[in-house]
Amino acid sequence: MKISENRVGVLLLAGGQGTRLGVQYPKGMYNVGLPSGKTLYQIQAERILKIQELSDRKHGSKCTVPWYIMTSEFTLAPTEKFFKENNYFGLESSNIVMFEQRMVPALDSDQKIIMQDKGKLAMAPDGNGGLYQALVDNEVLEDMKKRGVEYLHVYCVDNILVKMADPVFIGFCVSKGADCGAKVVEKAYPAEPVGVVCRVRGVAQVVEYNEIREITAERRGPGGELMFSAGNICNHFFTRAFLQEVAEKYKDQLKQHIALKKVPCVDMCGNHVTPTRPNGIKLEKFVFDVFPFSRSFVVFEVLREDEFSPLKNADGAATDSPTTARNALLAQHSRWATAAGATLLDEHGNLLPPTASVSAGDNQAARCEISPLVSYFGEGLEKLLRGRTLPSPFILDEKMAKELQAQ
């Protein structure tokens, strides 16, 4: 209902540098090797298009979910260029608002500034909590007000399974009267690099993975489950009213977190140095550090296999790589196809038992990819797929959907 009334927007945090993934361009432009070759940005854009269409169809009206994209000095120009070259992936360019976060100088261990070049300071984005200053600098809250946006789904760029403007999550937060909310998955293992949503001395907040003590992360309850298991997936809900309050009263109170990073620099003689070990400190603010200011904070737990597979590392890493992201999406789409009544074949034409397509870790999973333009979260597939046997790879895009419907 809120979506159909143009009251929901999405905001992408895309100012990070993707250093762990090791690419020089914005992470959203990354292609994880899906049969369709789609990038993360394209998948996200198509999910917005679909949610608008589903809402329009249900309510018989035309709605818009504006897409706010926070970039940084590193990511703004290439992101703008990429969107333009791709014709905004079918979205109205006027409904995509890109803005830039601030940069701060990197420091060495004596807290002195680092020179990146003669006459140029080494700078880094001020963390995803730089969002709140950036909202003010770029008058983004005014834009939201003008459009009538009251609820915002904020998310990070690298989760291939992200449900843009998720009506279930937004609906849950709104129905609870929340001003602020976080989507979580059950943490997989104590050292997993996800923050945990918890209460510290009664106050709801996130303790980040590099700031939690090992002994605390390992604590278990009576049934052997992790005591701090609400893994933050960087999917947040905010009301515009709450963001306005943060902008006016709290944004300067956000704490600074310290990240040790390798910062390319020049030495005393002006020679360029590419450090092999962390030589610099970056000060970052975190997006979730506003949770303690919330008056009504809610947590919403979802299934990892349906909603969380982040792209953090280059291939070769055991977790959170292009391969694991690709497999997670293909496994999910195979589950949807099977649930809709299709039978899947593997790449050699052998029948896959329905369970073989369930796990993302299963290399034999059928390569079944369903375009977000056909289905947002598995809905509407029965009429297309019931009773069919699907080869691998199988791409169910809009053209294929039309063909199947006509048969």
Ligand X SMILES: CC(=O)N[C@H]1[C@@H](OP(=O)(O)OP(=O)(O)OC[C@H]2O[C@@H](n3ccc(=O)[nH]c3=O)[C@H](O)[C@@H]2O)O[C@H](CO)[C@@H](O)[C@@H]1O
Count Cβ atoms within 10 A of the Cβ of residue 208 and give its class: 0-12 exposed, 13-18 middle, 19 or more buried: middle
Residue 156 near ligand X by CB under 6 A: yes
CA distance 142 to 147: 9
Task: Name the one range near ligand X by CB under 6 A: 10-18, 36-44, 107-115, 379-387.
Answer: 10-18
Mask for 169-198, x = binds ligand X (CB under 6 A): -------------------------xx---
Q: How many chain residues touch ligand X (CB under 6 A)?
A: 27
By DSSP bridging, strand 180-186 and strand 230-239 are: antiparallel
Kindly state the smallest distance separating residue 101's Cβ from ligand X, in Å. 6
Residue 233 near ligand X by CB under 6 A: yes
Residue 290 near ligand X by CB under 6 A: no
Under 8 Å between Cβ of 341 and 379: no
Instruction: Pick the closer one to ligand X by CB: 43 or 356.
Output: 43
Kindly state the smallest distance separating residue 141's Cβ from ligand X, in Å. 17
Dihedral of the alpha carbons of 152, 153, 156, 160, in degrees to the nearest 10: -150
Residue 134 near ligand X by CB under 6 A: no
Of 52, 302, 24, 322, nearest in space to 160 by CA:
322
CA distance 174 to 181: 10
Q: Which of 9, 66, 130, 167 binds ligand X (CB under 6 A)?
A: 130
For the chain, helix, strand, coil in percent to 5 are 30, 25, 45
Instruction: Pick the closer one to ligand X by CB: 304 or 333.
Output: 304
Q: Which of 141, 152, 162, 234 binds ligand X (CB under 6 A)?
A: 234
Residue 16 near ligand X by CB under 6 A: yes
Strands, E, within 161-244: which ranges?
Answer: 180-186, 196-200, 203-207, 230-239
Please list every residue from 37 through 76 that binds ligand X, using CB under 6 A: 70, 72
CA distance 401 to 297: 41
Distances from the Cα of 271 to the Cαs of 105, 262, 276, in angstroms?
20, 16, 15
Q: Which of 40, 51, 63, 157 binds ligand X (CB under 6 A)?
A: 157
**3-state SS class at 141:** helix
Instruction: Pick the closer one to ligand X by CB: 175 or 189.
Output: 189
Of 397, 333, 379, 302, nearest in space to 58 by CA:
379
Under 8 Å between Cβ of 51 and 192: no
Q: Which of 9, 66, 127, 190 binds ligand X (CB under 6 A)?
A: 127
Kindly state the smallest distance separating residue 193's Cβ from ligand X, in Å. 6
Q: Which of 80, 208, 362, 397 binds ligand X (CB under 6 A)?
A: 208
CA distance 390 to 286: 44
Residue 10 near ligand X by CB under 6 A: no
Kindly state the smallest distance separating residue 297's Cβ from ligand X, in Å. 16
Instruction: Pick the closer one to ligand X by CB: 17 or 86.
Output: 17
Kindly state the smallest distance separating residue 157's Cβ from ligand X, in Å. 4
Residue 13 near ligand X by CB under 6 A: yes
DSSP classification of residue 373: T
Kindly state the smallest distance separating residue 265's Cβ from ligand X, in Å. 19
Task: Name the one range near ligand X by CB under 6 A: 273-281, 285-293, 296-304, 344-352.
Answer: 285-293
Instruction: Pick the closer one to ligand X by CB: 308 or 376.
Output: 308
Residues ≥6 apart with Cβ < 8 Å to 86 = 41, 42
Sign of CA dihedral 142, 145, 147, 151: positive
DSSP classification of residue 199: E
Instruction: Pick the closer one to ligand X by CB: 195 or 372.
Output: 195
Instruction: Pick the closer one to ligand X by CB: 286 or 293.
Output: 286
Residue 310 near ligand X by CB under 6 A: yes
Kindly state the smallest distance separating residue 198's Cβ from ligand X, in Å. 12
Q: Which of 187, 312, 326, 333 binds ligand X (CB under 6 A)?
A: 312
By DSSP bridging, strand 120-121 and strand 115-117 are: antiparallel
Residue 14 near ligand X by CB under 6 A: yes
Distances from the Cα of 225 to the Cαs of 5, 126, 197, 221, 365, in angstroms?
42, 35, 15, 5, 29
Give residues in contact with ligand X (CB under 6 A): 13-16, 70, 72, 101, 125-128, 130, 156-158, 194-195, 206, 208, 232-234, 286-288, 310, 312
